[in-house]
Amino acid sequence: MAATEYEAVPAVDADIDARRTGGPQGSVVVMKFGGSSVADPEKLKRVAARLARARTAGHRVVGVLSAMGKTTDDLLALAGQVSPTPHPRELDMLVSTGERISCALAAMALHDLGHEAISLTGSQAGIVTDTVHGKAKIVEVRARRIHEALDEGKIVLVAGFQGVSTAFEVTTLGRGGTDTTAVALAAALGADQCEIYTDVRGVFSADPRLVPDARQLARVSFDEMLEMASSGARVMATRSIEVARSHNVKLHVRSTFEEGEGTWIQEEDEDMLEKALISGVVHQREETVYHVAGATRARLFGALAEASVNVDTIVQTGTEIVFSAPVEDREDAARTLDGLGLEWSARDDLGKVSLVGAGMKSHPGVAAKTFATLERAGIEAPIVSTSPIKIACHVPRADVDRAVQALHEAFDLG
Using the predicted structure, report yes or no on whether residue 16 has a pLDDT greater than 70: no
Contacts of 293 (CB under 8 A, 6+ apart): 319, 320, 321, 342, 343, 344
Residues 55 and 193 in one domain: yes
- Residues of the domain holding 48: 14-199
At residue 21 the predicted structure's pLDDT band, cuts being 50, 70 and 90, is very low
**Among 199, 225, 249, residue at a domain's last position:** 199
Share of the chain above pLDDT 90, in %: 75
* Chain centroid to CA 378: 33
Q: What span, in angstroms and rounded, lies between the C-alpha atoms of 252 and 274?
A: 21
**121 within some domain:** yes
CATH number at residue 308: 3.30.2130.10
Name which residue leads in pLDDT, 275 or 192.
Answer: 192
Q: What is the mean pLDDT of the chain?
A: 89
Please give the tally of structural domains in the chain.
2
Using the predicted structure, report yes or no on whether residue 40 has a pLDDT greater than 90: yes
Residues 35 and 147 in one domain: yes
CATH number at residue 138: 3.40.1160.10
At residue 7 the predicted structure's pLDDT band, cuts being 50, 70 and 90, is very low
Question: What is the model's pTM?
Answer: 0.85
Let me know if 314 is exposed, middle or buried by CB neighbors in 10 A (0-12, 13-18, 19+). Answer: middle
Residue range 217-233, pLDDT digits in tens: 999 999 999 999 888 88
Please tell me whether residue 395 adopts helix, strand or coil conformation: strand
**30 within some domain:** yes
Contact 292, 320 (CB under 8 A): yes
**261 within some domain:** no
**247 within some domain:** no
Residues 195 and 327 in one domain: no
**371 within some domain:** yes
Looking at residue 274, its pLDDT comes to: 54
**Which DSSP symbol is given to 126?**
T
Residues 187 and 284 in one domain: no
**Among 139, 169, 199, residue at a domain's last position:** 199
Residues 34 and 167 in one domain: yes
Q: What span, in angstroms and rounded, lies between the C-alpha atoms of 119 and 62?
A: 10
Neighbours of 160 (CB within 10 A): 33
Looking at residue 58, its pLDDT comes to: 94
**269 within some domain:** no
Residues in the chain: 414
Antiparallel, parallel or unpaired: β 117-120 and 155-159: parallel
Contact 283, 302 (CB under 8 A): no
The one-letter code for the residue type at 364 is: P
State the average pLDDT over residues 171-175.
92
**207 within some domain:** no
Residue range 375-409, pLDDT digits in tens: 999 999 999 988 889 999 999 999 999 999 999 99
